[in-house]
A and B are shown apart, each in its own frame.
Chain A
Amino acid sequence: MWLMNALDEIEAAVQKSAARQQQLAQAQAEVAERRFTDEIPDVVRVTVNGTGDVLEIELAAGCLDTGRQPHLLGERITRAVGNARRQSALAARDALSEVLGEQVAHWLVGDEEPKPERRSPRNRPGDKGTEDYFEDKDAKGFLEEQPWLP
């Protein structure tokens, strides 16, 4: 009987995992189809897709003219690309959050590392590592002493 229950639970877990994978693939596909833009007025407009690929860089007419500070053009385009990609990454993170949970999505997209696991009662700040623990211990003669014997 317990075996049947265990098999049912395993099957349910497999089905849940498959459904989640499908949701994840769908969310990724939807984000990939989206378009994100950043614009510096009268200079440049950058469009990227949901995976951060640069699709289009539109330079404003006349932006190469001497009076329009063309020496800053490279820096401005770089900034616009970075901003558009940031929007795309945030949207991807939000979409993943809905499927995987916020913490995993943050970790996958890279904006934030996963929060440390909650400390167990055996892993308090005052606990020593193995090396520290044995540092002040003198194990010499321990076996000879046989403290467990009366």
Chain B
Amino acid sequence: MASLNELEILVAERTREFKALQQKSADAAGKVIGEPVAGGTGLVQVDITGRLVGIEFDQERLRSLDERRLGRQLVEAIRTAETKAATVRDVLLGEST
């Protein structure tokens, strides 16, 4: 049967681990993964959960682009960024367990 002292130590350890995990999660939440759109016309940004948070375009290049082609390139860039985000998420949060 565990003594009160042992239980206190156990609770303190678990509390420390929980706070470390919370911190890692908070750090990870702020990370943004960028993926260039083919041809360097822009940058797709997703957060660590794979949510699309923004797309930036090079306005100079944008004028000369074909809309259909750009649409396909964006889909590809979003998929690649999501895959990278999943990898980063696994590395950052997987280590804590």
Contacts and interface: CB of A to CB of B under 8 A. Distances in A.
Given A56-B75, A70-B63, A74-B54, 11 more contacts: A54-B75, A57-B72, A58-B71, A59-B67, A59-B68, A62-B67, A64-B65, A75-B55, A78-B54, A81-B78, A85-B51
Interface string A63-78: 1111000110111011
Given A54-B75, A54-B79, A57-B75, A74 B42 contact: yes
Interface string B59-81: 10011010110111011001100
21 contacts: A54-B52, A55-B75, A57-B71, A57-B75, A58-B68, A58-B71, A59-B67, A59-B71, A60-B67, A63-B67, A64-B63, A64-B65, A64-B70, A70-B57, A70-B62, A74-B54, A74-B57, A75-B54, A78-B55, A82-B51, A82-B52
Contact of A74 (B56, B68, B72, B75): B56
B53 interface: yes
Interface of B: 42, 51-57, 59, 62-63, 65, 67-68, 70-72, 74-75, 78-79
Contacts of A58: 68, 71
A3 interface: no
A56 B71 contact: yes
Interface in A26-59: 44, 53-59
Contacts of A75: 54-55
A55 B53 CA distance: 17
A61 interface: yes
Contacts of B63: 64-66, 70
Interface in A88-137: none
A73 B71 contact: no
